[in-house]
Amino acid sequence: MRKSLCLLIAIAVMMSCTLNAFAVTELTTSTGMETIRIDGRNGKYFYYDPLTGKVSADSSTTATGLGDLIMPTKENSAYAFTAETNGTVYHYQVLDETVVDGEKQYFIYCNDLYGTNPTAYPTNVFDPDVEGTIANWLNISFLNGEQGDGMVALDENIKGHIVQHDWLVEANKNAPEGYPTTDYSVNCKISLLSITEYAKYAKKIGWGAYVNGTMTSGGIHIFFRSPVGNRTNLRTLYAQSGCTANVASSYATAQIRPAFYISENYFRENKLTGYGNFVSAIIKENNTRDSLKELGYSDEEINGIFTDESLTFDSVTVSGDGLIGSELSVSAVYSDGVEEKCDTSAAIIKWYESATENGEYAKIGGAEGDTYTIGASDSGKYIKASVTPVSLDGSHGIEKISDNAVKAKGHINAVVPSVLTSTTSFYTNDGRISAQSPENEFVSKNDDGEFTYSLLNTDIKDGDVAFLVFSNDNYGDVSTVSEIFHTNNTFNPDDKTNIAHWLNNEFLNGEGSAQNGNKSVFDQTAAQYALVNDWYVEGNGCGENANYKTTSVTQNDYTATCKIALLSYSEYLKYHDKIGYKATSTIASSGDRTLLRSPHTGRAYTMKFFGSGTGSISNQNMANELNSDGSVKNEYSFYFETNPVVIRPVMYLSVDYFKNAKLAKAGENVKKTIRENIPKSELLGLYTEDELVSILGYSSDSTDVSDAVVYGIAAVGETLGVYYDESTLPENAKVTVRWYVSDSADDAGKQEFEGIRCTIPSNYEGKHITAHFDVTDSASGEKLKSEKIYVGKVRSAQSVSAVYTVVDDRNVSFTIKNTSGDDTKTARTIVAAFDENNVMLGIEGKLYSLSAAVTDKITINEVNNAAFYRILILNADDNSPLCALTLR
């Protein structure tokens, strides 16, 4: 009956072009589609209305009967696979699976475009029994090897595995007269997606497709089997926006992406050339290692498919400072019992990066070693690594990505500082300053000559004080440096043609020089102790600071990571009273213009300067440098066609510089700062006692503060304390103890606690603890003692624990607690005496039952020739230390 009806309809079509044709099909459901929301790529949401058959775009996120929230990407590689037949690579997406008669079938969507509709037949139905329709062509001509006007014919290797399927076709209540107004089904092998399937599987599909092996850039219409409302067309998918569209005019040019179900046997009889994680699981489910070998899979491919889920890592950690040009390394800790099953040298390492710390990480191409060198293109990105264990038989374990990420820093316009440097501290007074500021100057003499600096500020870096210094020497006219590109308004140490790169390479290493300066070679002692710093650079007017805005150039604030910098405009304004405007030697008779790292605000190729010289700059009146609207005057810029502009570097020097570079003279502020941060005892040898008094202003009195000791053990819940001999301290001594926590013993870490004692919280397990012990004379401000004491790596909480209290240098009270619930546990105290050569002179011990908490006191009995005493409290079960202390 059905075939005769189709024949009658076909005859009617030939007789009258006004009669719409469709086949009578078995009704599967009469339930109309709900409104479906599909997220496009332009920030709008796309809705399909089954009543009108229309798709509309709206920025609203609310509509009745919304479907799943869908945001298609261009291609979802996890569900993708490729196969090669007769030299042609075919692309597919696995959308779903079902079981029919005990056999699995997989829903496949072709990710290749097979050309336009060869029939170009506008019909509102999808029925393989209606000649001239796309459904008929797909299941007769295309299925039997005919191809359209694009790509190639159907993949012969997959053709034999395509199975019959009942496809639901959504109808439209507003369909033209003569067309179905309720949903129906058709039975055939090859179909097109319906709009509901697209909405359901959009995340697995992606909106892109391949044309002759190349991914489309968009703008292509792709067929659906769902009709378009009251028109005589099927619907299309507009690939450029990722949404469906009512485009009748594009019907004839819409592209074909077939959909079909295939038998599980396809994956047993064909080798795939590429596959995502989801498809890899399908291959594994349908094969053995031997069967894959027979299909031609390599050992590496087989090992990747047959993942051993028992092979895991507990943790993966990336280490490194994050500076561009430096190396990152990765380390991994195997789960219990796993390492002995694995070939540790064969572990697979991959590197990933993301624009944000918690964002989506993408694999870095070609980065697969145990180290990764940070490149300029990585700047500002977060980098992680993954490690996959490999068993002794070659099976792969579970890939684990690192628990932490390291941020790459140092490249231009990429790293935005968390704290901006004085961007709003623009002075409004007249800013008249003297030529020099002697109270902030110091002079250092070494084998390279005599060098003069201004001390601008101090800061804490890596747990130590660092000194911000500005050179008062004139290192020559920057325009005479041939290695750099002069018309540039950026400060970029990664650009070989930039002044910042030259300063931190040739200049820093004493190899490059400018002409006409009083110094030709940079102070190599300062170069040795200069610290890497993130230098804040005002962008050309895009920050929030109204006092530094552009008139033509767009540039964001950024940081440049390097050792040697130039002053920024903000720093000049902040520290102008410590700088003065003249260097120790000048080129121009009226003084020199000094180059800044801040850009000119009105030109794209110039940097700002400060200083005297001819032109509109006079009397160093800083208020004159601002226009009435707060912007910086254009004439205050680095422009080589005018007067010489000199190089005066700025840098952070470590405290070790002042312990190794002898000063010939120092201003009062410099003396005071050194005395406040460096104990006199640490400078003896570099200076004589008299020189410390005359040059740096130290007190002539000698105060010998004894070393401090840390008691307690580094374990969760334990209390650490610092003991020092108060009898050696002067009356006005101020003692400060700061506790630093770090990820490794070599890392300075950051300060977490301050006080004589600290109790270790549980989240510090595995961290390293160092105590910083400082003694200052509160009357003079002079630093008397500065000591770092490494405590150790924090262990887990102990069931048996002990706490010391040092009464004096010969008496220690203690409490031992047992929380294990085992009343038979015991603890032992030991006191041992040693001479100056670390030879033990005597030892005493005592055993305690821990059926209850024990509180007692240890009194040290003097031993002849003893230089110090070591006190230990041990868990007697395994002799593990509970507390350790050394007294002199």
pLDDT tens, residue by residue, 807-829 = 777 888 888 888 888 888 898 99
Grouping H, G, I as helix, E, B as strand and the rest as coil, residue 592 is coil
pLDDT for 700 beyond 60: yes
Grouping H, G, I as helix, E, B as strand and the rest as coil, residue 331 is strand
Measured CA to CA in angstroms, residue 554 lies from 275, 487, 490 at distances of 44, 16, 12
At 579, is the pLDDT very low, low, confident or very high (cuts 50, 70, 90)? confident
Q: Taking the complete model, does pTM exceed 0.85, yes or no?
A: no
Contact (CB, 8 A) for 217 and 157: no
pLDDT for 527 beyond 90: yes
Paired residues of 51 in beta bridges: none
Sign of CA dihedral 97, 99, 103, 105: negative
Least confident of 26-35, 220-229, 236-245: 26-35
Listed as own residue / partner, the contacts of 158-162 with beta carbons closer than 8 Å and 24 or more positions apart are: 158/83, 158/90, 158/92, 158/108, 158/262, 158/266, 158/270, 161/262, 161/263, 161/265, 161/266, 161/269, 162/189, 162/190, 162/260, 162/261, 162/262
Mean pLDDT, rounded, of the chain: 75
In this structure, which amino acid lies at residue 394? G
Average pLDDT of 393-398?
Answer: 84
Distance linking the first and last C-alpha atoms of the chain: 110
In this structure, which amino acid lies at residue 832? A
pLDDT for 580 beyond 70: no
Alpha-carbon span 184 to 139, nearest angstrom:
18
Pull the structure tokens for residue 551: 């008139």
Average pLDDT of 873-884?
Answer: 80
Pull the structure tokens for residue 426: 């623009």
Least confident of 187-201, 585-599, 808-822: 585-599
Q: Of 824, 725, 734, nearest to 782 (Cα)?
A: 734
Pull the structure tokens for residue 340: 């002995």
pLDDT tens profile 100-148: 999 999 999 998 888 887 776 666 778 899 888 889 999 999 999 888 7
**What pLDDT does 871 receive?**
87
**What pLDDT does 546 receive?**
34
Write the DSSP symbol of residue 764.
Answer: G
Listed as own residue / partner, the contacts of 722-730 with beta carbons closer than 8 Å and 24 or more positions apart are: 722/756, 722/757, 722/771, 722/773, 722/789, 723/806, 723/885, 723/887, 724/773, 724/775, 725/809, 725/888, 728/703, 728/704, 729/703, 729/705, 729/775, 729/784, 730/703, 730/777, 730/784
Q: What percent of the chain has pLDDT over 70?
A: 73
Alpha-carbon span 361 to 436, nearest angstrom:
52
pLDDT tens profile 419-433: 333 333 333 323 333
At 330, is the pLDDT very low, low, confident or very high (cuts 50, 70, 90)? very high
Pull the structure tokens for residue 87: 């030299």
CA angle 38, 40, 43 (to 5 degrees): 120
**What pLDDT does 209 receive?**
79
Average pLDDT of 63-86?
Answer: 66
Q: Catalogue all structural domains in the chain, each as residue range(s) with its CATH number.
A: 94-263 (no CATH), 276-305 (no CATH), 313-407 (2.60.40.2700), 438-653 (no CATH), 703-797 (2.60.40.2700), 798-888 (2.60.40.10)
**What pLDDT does 763 receive?**
85
pLDDT for 8 beyond 80: no
**What pLDDT does 244 receive?**
45
Average pLDDT of 376-387?
Answer: 84
**What pLDDT does 83 receive?**
95
pLDDT for 851 beyond 70: yes
Alpha-carbon span 76 to 209, nearest angstrom:
11
Alpha-carbon span 430 to 631, nearest angstrom:
16
Q: Of 152, 150, 119, 156, nearest to 136 (Cα)?
A: 119
**What pLDDT does 649 receive?**
92
Between 268 and 214, whose confidence is greater?
Answer: 268
**What pLDDT does 254 receive?**
76
- DSSP letters spanning 119-162: S----S---TTSTTSHHHHIIIIITTT---SSS-S--HHHHTTE
**What pLDDT does 460 receive?**
87
**What pLDDT does 867 receive?**
87
**What pLDDT does 234 receive?**
65
pLDDT for 240 beyond 50: no
Q: Of 747, 782, 789, nearest to 767 (Cα)?
A: 747
Question: Which residues contact residue 87 at a Cβ distance below 8 angstroms, ignoring those fewer than 6 apart?
Answer: none
pLDDT for 652 beyond 90: yes
Q: Which residue in the block uniquely carries the two structure tokens 């926006």?
A: 241
At 639, is the pLDDT very low, low, confident or very high (cuts 50, 70, 90)? very low
**What pLDDT does 20 receive?**
33
Alpha-carbon span 502 to 231, nearest angstrom:
69
